Amino acid sequence: MTTIYDVAKRAGVSVATVSKVLNGYPDVSARTREKVQQITAELGYHPNAVARGLVTRRSMTVGVFFQDHGNRGFRHPFLHDVIASFKDSIGEAGYDLLFLTEHRGNDGVFRGFESRAKQRDVDGLFLLGVPRTNSGLATLSRSQIPTVSVDLDLFGPKASYLCSDNVGGARQAVDHLVANGHRKIAFIGDRFGTKPGHDRMLGYQEALQAHALEYRPEWILEGDFGETSGYRAMRRLLAEAELPTAVFCASDMMAIGAMNAISEAGLHVGEQISIVGFDDIELARYVSPGLTTIRQNTDKMGQRAATELLELMNTTNKPPGVITVETSLVIRGTVRSIA
Amino acid sequence: MTTIYDVAKRAGVSVATVSKVLNGYPDVSARTREKVQQITAELGYHPNAVARGLVTRRSMTVGVFFQDHGNRGFRHPFLHDVIASFKDSIGEAGYDLLFLTEHRGNDGVFRGFESRAKQRDVDGLFLLGVPRTNSGLATLSRSQIPTVSVDLDLFGPKASYLCSDNVGGARQAVDHLVANGHRKIAFIGDRFGTKPGHDRMLGYQEALQAHALEYRPEWILEGDFGETSGYRAMRRLLAEAELPTAVFCASDMMAIGAMNAISEAGLHVGEQISIVGFDDIELARYVSPGLTTIRQNTDKMGQRAATELLELMNTTNKPPGVITVETSLVIRGTVRSIA
DNA sequence: CTAAACTCCGAAATCGCTTTCGCGAATTTT
DNA sequence: AAAATTCGCGAAAGCGATTTCGGAGTTTAG
């Protein structure tokens, strides 16, 4: 491995000087600067970011905790997209992403978010898919580590969070249904009390009130965002005495599960029963009929997360905040006008 | 930040001793060992992996280059799954994943794979979705950095690669078709000469020979693995004078594109024309009829990649190799028996 | 022509940790 | 009881960089 010493020796200067040209300091003559640059190129020298980080105390690395609960597949394309967009944005600022895992060290000690973050010396943290129940969250929120989390209301002296405008999105969904003449609208939400689940429920209720629609407890079902839970919820709903004309599902996967249940019951989605989902995952375009849904703007979410984290990391006294990203309605084929 | 010095002082021992208990060296008495451990816990001390890496010359980090060509979405769930599985396996060995980007440093110099890897001091590299045309590949293959790449035949003193048994998989596809009475089988492959594309073509040809089927150049189409390219290819095929009874597509997305073209032409997939895809992406279950396809075992691919990289990193003289993972046939609804 | 002010550059301390090597004390062997 | 081992610990030399601060050499001012 070639080090800064090799370059210095070869160029006939001190390591300090080499370091200076590498970092663009002004107190170096044009002559030596060029000489050093030339040698650097010749030797194919790459300054070691680790050693540099050690002294500057900035690793130019942000840690990512991405919990997929072993549950790969469709729930995650959404989060994957957010990460991809985040990576692009933060990458331009020169940061690399370190995917961290909570784990038990070889000493047998369990290391959670904060511990791993300090261990790896990351400049900031990005959390996705982390369940509210995670025990490391409390200490993390109190820490001074710049953190942005998505879909999780983690808030602290250096912790901001970000999510779609779930309340507004849910209202958009119901509004769309109402605009198409529906007045009997059921809801399939989540039973875990996630922030998004909660907010979508709220939006649903607000919209109900706004349109003076009847709130029927038996039309409120619970799932876990997954396909089968949507399927089951719909089966329960179909067993009710009176059926709604439409159902709003808090996730596309649940919507798809619901669609299956409907078909199975011999009914037709978009005919007897209309459906609106939430997320706009890729799959939504492919099921048939295409799923009308509320789109979360993953690109923008990633970008906003990145700029927020950058500020948190590089601006002293930047107060944390909550970031909301607008949703949009995507009309496909699961809503029928019954005006 | 609490350092090893703080612990040493508080415990009334030298830093050397603290380091020793932290790393499980034997030459420490039980008494001092306990004392140090207690202080460590009290202070909530986390040894800094960066500083440690600097001296041990092992960062316990593997660099990942994951090119998504801006092309998020369905081509990648496959690679995402491989990464997820890889992460699980390599994570157990104590490694974290650093997602690297090739980029232009603030000095304006472009840094490719090798440069970034050295800069970040990673112990190994994992490459996915990297096009063969990437200019950094040549120097990387010559380097001494342990590397595993998937679906890319990168081979060097420390570079292994891994892919599905694409030849065998393609044969499975054709065999299945033949077993169902098909003798006129078209192929939609790739025009970029990727390793998997090439091998699937090879398998197709071998199977044709094995079953003494006619090779018809006009039934060999080219795409880019994406949906629209499959659609276009199928349209061209449908314009031929004589139609095959089945077509084998080198990717599920192309198969889905082809299915759309078929429906649009007023024909029915699984009736007039049978289709077999390749990959078994999640979507394959959801299109209708469900896509019969060749499944790539992403879990296993990730695991094998991890164990291979671990060996490459930790065993001197481990010769690199090529790793092949078996595929399997997944029967759904797009192949009709015309026996 | 001397003093002041710049320019350039390098010595050395430092970041947080590991690891060798030696030394004194305790223990075991003769 | 003396010699030989063993045990437990610490001093110090790094790992590869950055950065302060002062000094030598030059230029400008007085």
Pick the CATH number of B61-164+299-325 from 3.40.50.261, 3.40.50.10470, 3.40.710.10, 3.40.50.2300: 3.40.50.2300
CB B43 within 8 A of CB B8: no
Q: For residue B7, give the H/E element and its range.
A: helix B4-11
Query: For residue A66, how many C-alpha atoms fall within 13 Å in the half-sphere facing its CB?
Result: 26
Which amino acid appears at position A203 of this protein? Answer: G
**Sign for the pseudo-dihedral over CA of B111, B113, B115, B119:** positive
So where are chain B's domains?
Answer: 4-47, 61-164+299-325, 166-296
- Provide the pLDDT for residue A75: 57
Report in angstroms the alpha-carbon separations of B178 from A233, B173, B214, B237: 43, 9, 13, 20
Minimum-distance nucleotide, CA of A25 to C1':
D19
Q: Is the CB of A99 under 7 A from strand D?
A: no
Residue B45: DSSP 8-state = -
| Closest residue, CA to C1' of C9 | A17
Output the DSSP codes for B220-282.
EEEE-SSHHHHHHHHHHHHTSSS--SEEEESSHHHHHHHHHHHHHTT--BTTTBEEEEEE--T
Calpha distance B53→A227 (Å, rounded): 44
Minimum-distance nucleotide, CA of B48 to C1':
C16
Output the DSSP codes for A176-226.
HHHHTT---EEEEEESS--HHHHHHHHHHHHHHHHTTPPP-GGGEEEE-SS
- Provide the pLDDT for residue B107: 67
The fold of the A166-296 domain, in CATH, is Rossmann fold (3.40.50)
- Provide the pLDDT for residue A74: 52
Minimum-distance nucleotide, CA of B3 to C1':
C16
Q: For residue B338, give the H/E element and its range.
A: none
CA of A29 to C1' of D25 (A): 14
CA B231 to chain centre: 25
* Domain B4-47 homologous superfamily, CATH: lambda repressor-like DNA-binding domains (1.10.260.40)
* Domain A61-165+298-326 homologous superfamily, CATH: Response regulator (3.40.50.2300)
- Provide the pLDDT for residue B69: 63
Residues in chain B closer than 8 A to A106 (CB atoms): 24, 94
Q: Is the CB of A263 under 7 A from strand D?
A: no
- Provide the pLDDT for residue A70: 54
Report in angstroms the alpha-carbon separations of A307 from A148, A162, A314: 10, 12, 10
Spans of chain B below 50 pLDDT: 72-73
- Listed in sequence order, the residues at least 6 apart from A177 whose beta carbon sits closer than 8 Å to its beta carbon are A185, A246, A248, A274, A276, A335
Residues in chain A closer than 8 A to B48 (CB atoms): 118-119, 121
Minimum-distance nucleotide, CA of B19 to C1':
C18
B 6-45, residues with C-beta < 7 Å of strand D = 12-17, 26-33
Q: Which position has the token pair 């006129």? A: B184
Calpha distance A173→A203 (Å, rounded): 9
Per-residue pLDDT of chain A (339 residues; tens, 9 = 90+): 899 999 999 999 999 999 999 999 999 999 999 999 999 999 999 999 999 999 999 999 999 999 876 554 455 778 888 999 999 999 999 999 999 988 887 667 788 999 999 999 999 999 999 988 899 999 999 999 999 999 999 999 999 999 999 999 999 999 999 999 999 999 999 988 889 999 999 999 999 999 999 999 999 999 999 999 999 999 999 999 999 999 999 999 999 999 999 999 999 999 999 999 999 998 999 999 999 999 999 999 999 999 999 999 999 899 999 999 999 999 999 999 997
CB A292 within 8 A of CB A328: no
Residue of B nearest to A24 (CA): B107
Cis peptide before B289 (omega within 30 of 0): yes
- Provide the pLDDT for residue B78: 86
- Provide the pLDDT for residue A270: 92
Give the 3-state DSSP-derived string for A188-200, with helices as H, strands as E and coil as C: EEECCCCHHHHHH
Q: Which position has the token pair 């790969």? A: A72
Mean pLDDT of chain B: 94
Calpha distance B201→B301 (Å, rounded): 21
Q: Which position has the token pair 């490719």? A: B112
Nearest partner of A330 among A290, A271, A288, judged by Cα: A290
- Listed in sequence order, the residues at least 6 apart from B76 whose beta carbon sits closer than 8 Å to its beta carbon are A80, B68, B129
Nearest partner of A152 among A201, A100, A197, judged by Cα: A197
Q: What is the CA radius of gyration of chain A?
A: 26
Calpha distance B229→B194 (Å, rounded): 16
User: Considering CB atoms only, which of B46, B119, B282 is closest to A119?
Assistant: B46
Q: For residue B78, give the H/E element and its range.
A: helix B76-92
A 7-26, residues with C-beta < 7 Å of strand D = 15-16, 18-20, 22-23
CB A112 within 8 A of CB A102: yes
- Provide the pLDDT for residue A113: 95
B20-66 pLDDT, tens digit each: 999 999 999 999 999 999 999 999 999 999 999 999 999 999 999 99
- Listed in sequence order, the residues at least 6 apart from B206 whose beta carbon sits closer than 8 Å to its beta carbon are B167, B170, B171
Cross-strand pairs, B189: B222
Q: Is the CB of A31 under 7 A from strand D?
A: no
- Provide the pLDDT for residue A71: 53
Residue A303: DSSP 8-state = H
CB A330 within 8 A of CB A295: yes
User: Considering CB atoms only, which of B1, B54, B106 is closest to A50?
Assistant: B54
**Are the folds of B4-47 and B166-296 the same?**
no
